[in-house]
Amino acid sequence: MTGTASPAIHISGAAALQDETRSPVPSTQREGLTVSMLINGQPYQFNIDSRTSLLDLLRDHAGLTGTKKGCDHGQCGACTVLTDGRRTLSCMSFAAMNDGWEITTIEGLSSADGDLHPMQQAFIDHDAFQCGYCTPGQILSAVACVEEGHAESDADIREYMSGNLCRCAAYPNIVAAVKQARNEMEKA
């Protein structure tokens, strides 16, 4: 979105924004750095400032604002995404380091027809959030937690979900949600 010169103020929907950024806008800052990645199964190419974090790239260049900024320091977990299937704090990763990688954000977790991932449904069922701000990061972390095999016991879930802060403190509900989704993910 950088460098566009339209003086008119226009709020576009998320879809329009994505189409607009699919063909990246050249950066007016520094030497432009070209990076390519597969985000939620879609190929993207960006021309960016070399200092751009993966988080800012997702939010400001790809228009995928489901990934949240909670501290920009790698301390809260709100920005968690999956890079080649592993959970990653996107605020602590330069976008350029992810060149050629496959990124999954919260927008890519449910199917195109709107069916929720078992983890998303479990978070609703167990009221595993209040304000919902840390939720995308919690859910992606939880999916990885199950896939890593770190969701076998309550104590394990608590330990391996401790990189994601929830200030509303839905922690017991998060543990219950991860257990439900684990059982369904293992069946599938």
Partner 1 sequence: MTTSEAAPLPRENMGQPLARVDGRLKVMGRANYPADIPVNNLAHGLLVASGIARGRVQELHLDEAHAVKGVLDILTHDHIRGELEPPEFGTSGSSSIGPLHDDKIWHDGQIIALVIAETIEAAREAAMRITVDYKEEQPSTSFGSEGTETVAASEVSQQFKEDVKAGDFETAFDAAEVKIDVEYGMPTHHHNPIEMFSTTAYWQGEELTVHEPTQNVYGWKVEIARQLKIEPDRVRVISPYIGGAFGSKGPITPRTAIVALAARRLGRPVRCVVTRSQSFTTQTYRAETRHHIQMAAARDGRITAFKHEGWEVTSRPDPYVVGGTKTTGRLYNYGSVLTKVFLVKTDRPTPSYMRAPAETPYIYALENAMDEMAVALNMDPVEFRRVNDASQDAIEGKPFSSRSLMQCYDEAASEFGWSKRNPQVGSMRDGDWLIGMGCATAVHPANVAPCAVRITLRDDGHARVQTASHEIGTGVQTVAAQLAAEHLGLHPSMVQVEMGDTRLPPAPVTGGSSTTASVCSAIIKACEEIREKLARAAVTANDGPLAGRDPASVLLKNGRLVAADASQALKDVFKHVGSGVIEQYTEFRPDGASPDAVSNLYQGKMEMVSGEKGDMIKYAFGAEFVEVRIHRRTREIRVPRVVGAFSGGRIMNTRTARSQLMGGMIWGISSALHEATEFDWRSARVVNRDLQDYLVPVNADIQDVKVILVPETDTHVNLAGVKGLGELGNVGTAAAIASAVHHATGKRIRELPIRIDNLLG
Query: Which residues between 157 and 176 bind partner 1 (CB under 8 A)?
Result: 157-159, 161-176
Tell me whether residue 101 or residue 104 sits nearer to partner 1 (CB atom): 104
Smallest distance from partner 1 to CB 186, Å: 19
Using CA atoms, how far residue 144 sits from 86, 90, 109, in Å, is: 7, 15, 12
Rg of the Cα atoms in the chain: 17
Q: Does 45 bind partner 1 (CB under 8 A)?
A: no
Binding mask 107-146 for partner 1 (x = CB under 8 A): x-xx-----x---xx-xxxxxxxxxxxxxx--x-------
- Coil, helix or strand at residue 54: helix
In this structure, the number of other CB atoms found within 10 A of the CB of residue 154 comes to: 13
Q: Does 42 bind partner 1 (CB under 8 A)?
A: no
Taking the C-alpha atoms of residue 134 and residue 168, their distance in angstroms, rounded to an integer, is: 9
* Piece of 60-68, 82-90, 96-104 that binds partner 1 (CB under 8 A): 60-68
> Binders of partner 1 among 69-88, rule CB under 8 A?
69-73, 75-76, 78
CA angle 94, 129, 170 (to 5 degrees): 100
